[in-house]
């Protein structure tokens, strides 16, 4: 369901993920030996990859919403869209700091 409430909830979850990552970076700064741990290095790579995939899919989602919103406004689609209850969908607006994948440096 692409309701504004569900998009808002997803945005809140994304903000929570960013906050957790920032807290993790603070912990790493306190324990320099952690930077050399192989498991932690793999975690670092996984986090960076995950954030990149999220950013890519966020852009893809917004492109799809833009195409959809444009198409339901064109004639004759606008007639059928109105009759069938299709309406414009909201974009995913992430917090400004979540627009780009964070630089994970441990």
pLDDT per residue as tens, the chain (106 positions): 667 788 788 878 878 887 887 788 788 788 877 777 888 888 888 888 888 888 888 899 899 999 999 999 989 988 888 889 898 888 887 666 555 555 555 4
Q: What is the pLDDT of residue 70?
A: 94
Can you tell me which residue has the tokens 């932690």? 40
Measured between alpha carbons, how far is residue 95 from residues 31, 45, 92, 99, 101 in Å?
29, 23, 10, 7, 12
Cα-based distances in Å from 42 to 6, 36, 67: 32, 11, 38
The model's pTM is 0.61
- What is the structure's pLDDT at 8? 80
């Amino acid at each position: 369901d692409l309701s504004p409430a569900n998009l808002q909830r997803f945005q809140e979850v994304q903000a929570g993920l960013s906050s957790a990552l920032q807290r993790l970076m603070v912990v790493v700064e306190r324990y320099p030996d952690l930077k050399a741990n192989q498991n932690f290095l793999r975690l670092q790579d996984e986090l960076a990859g995950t954030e990149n995939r999220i950013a890519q899919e966020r852009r893809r989602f917004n492109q799809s919403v833009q195409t959809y919103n444009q198409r339901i406004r064109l004639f004759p689609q606008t007639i059928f869209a109105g009759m069938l209850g299709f309406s414009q969908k909201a974009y995913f607006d992430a917090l400004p700091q979540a627009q780009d994948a964070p630089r994970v440096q441990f």
